[in-house]
Structure formats: C-alpha cells, structure tokens
Structure 1
Amino acid sequence: MSQVQPMPPSMTRSRLVVLYSIFAAISIAANLGSQKLFVMAAHIPYAVAISVLVGTAVGLAVKFFLDKFWIFRFEHRDIAHGIQSFILYTAMGGATTLIFWGFEFGADHVFGTEAARLTGGGVGLVIGYIAKYWLDKKFVFA
C-alpha cells in the first residue's frame, strides 16, 4: 500500500514551506506563461478563455509531479493507482481552480487589461495553492 513517506529529518517545516512556495511559483509561471503563449499564437474567438484552460492544465500537471515527488514523497502501487491519484488531485483542485478563475476573470472584468488579468490570476493561484496543500495532504497523498 502506498503511503506518504514521513518527513525526512532534513525536511523541516520551514524548508517544506519554501519548497512548496517555489513549486507553486514554478507552476504559476507555467500556467501564466502557457496562457500568454497561447494568446500570442492563437488568434481565434475566445482565445483568452481557452488560454485559461490550457494554462490550468499545464500548471496542474507541473504541480502534481513536483508535489508528488518532492513535497509528499508519494509512491504509487502501479500505473492505475497513479492515474487514480492524479484524478483525485485534479478533483481537489476544482474548488481552488474556481478561486483562481474568479480572481483572474474578475480582474479582467474590472480593469480590462492583460496585466490586470494575469495579476488577478497570480493572486488567485497563490490563495488556491494554500488551500490545495491542505486538501492534498488530507485526501490525495494520505
């Protein structure tokens, strides 16, 4: 049965917070960067809305692998268990994604600029990642 490995002695609470923050920043950069690239490349209707979906998928995949290996040190029993964990990880991200999208689309609606939209997205992602850590610890990587 797979379990979260105990926090190694070198993984203090402070180090955990720093690593999680770095990984959240990497995921935020992957999310917002892929949004920016998509909008630059795709001159189609609803490009911004589609770019948010693309960014969310990219950021989710990046964060899952970083959290799995470095934060929770989680090992899957087999491929099916890995897929199940990713699905559960994605489900836990549902509410936190709504927070992120709310801030991003809210900033876009209020200010109407790309800078505001991406800033709102960044703020929403930070708030969402704080909530996501606790959900993942309790339900995904437990």
Structure 2
Amino acid sequence: MSGRPKGAALVLRYAGFAVVATLANLGAQRLVLAGAETVDGAWLALAMVCGTGVGLVVKYALDKRWIFYDATRGARAQGAQFALYSAMGLVTTAIFWVTETAFWLVWGTDLAREAGAVLGLSVGYVTKYLLDRRYVFRAEAAA
C-alpha cells in the first residue's frame, strides 16, 4: 500500500505515538500520585503500574493501526496478539522502570523521576519497535 510511511516519515510517526503514549503514562502516574500525601515506594510502584497499563493500551492501538497496518480481526486473535505485544514489552518495561526508579532514588524529585521515565521510555520504545516488527506484526510488516 503506497500510503504507508517509510523511512523518516515512519520514524516521526512512531516517535509521535511514543510521545502520546508517554504523556498518557505520565498523566496516569500523576493522577495516582495526586492521592498520596508523600510519595513512597508503594505509591511510586502503584503509579508506575497504572501508567504502564494506560501507556500500553494507547501505544498498542496506535501501533496496530498506524504503524503496522494490522488487519487482525476477532477477539481471540486480537487477544493473542495483544498478549504477545505485552510480552515483548516486558524487557522494555524493565528498562523504563529501572531508569525512572534510579532517577527518583538518586535525585528524589518529581522532575528527575519524570526525566528518568522519558529516557527509559525512549530507549524502551526503540527496542519495542524492533521486537514488534519481528515477532508481533510480522505478516503486515513484511507486506
């Protein structure tokens, strides 16, 4: 299909979607942390899990439709695909969580925590694209 982006256009679209998912992730984290009197490890973990879930769903929907042009239909097939997409994200999520937590532990500020999140998500999303292209959306990516 000629309307599919390639090269720089694909990189820009993917990066834009990564920004959207990152903002959704951080927004969800802020909502969770707004309920805490003080941010401790338990609150930070809860915020990171909630943010990761929101970011995952947003990024999957955008990638499926606008990056890989995936036409998988049916609840069972899409459920299996989302499970594989999520599994590919386990390593990349670890990159993100470790980086965000390290920045928070070293500098102890929300700005540092969010800077660590952005850095970790950036590295994670590049890795995630490569894994998704190879293992999750293989048939469409090859077209």
Structures share fold, TM-score greater than 0.5: yes
- 1:47 partnered with 2:27: no
Equivalence for 1:24: 18
- 1:14 partnered with 2:11: no
Alpha-carbon displacement from aligned partner over 1:31-86 (angstroms, at most 9, x marks no partner)? 01110111103558721110000000000000000000000000113110000000
Instruction: Give the aligned CA root-mean-square deviation in angstroms.
Output: 1.5
The answer for unaligned runs of 5 or more in structure 2 is 139-143
4+ residue segments displaced more than 3 Å: 42-45
Cα drift, residue 12 of structure 1: 2.6
CA distance in 2, matches of 1:61, 1:95: 17
Cα drift, residue 9 of structure 1: 4.7
Q: How many residues align?
A: 136
CA distance in 2, matches of 1:43, 1:67: 36
Give secondary structure in 2 for the equivalent of 1:41.
coil
Equivalence for 1:122: 118
CA distance in 1, matches of 2:93, 2:43: 19
The answer for unaligned runs of 5 or more in structure 1 is 1-5
Equivalence for 1:138: 134
Identity %: 40
- 1:56 partnered with 2:63: no
TM-score (norm 2): 0.90
CA distance in 1, matches of 2:102, 2:44: 13
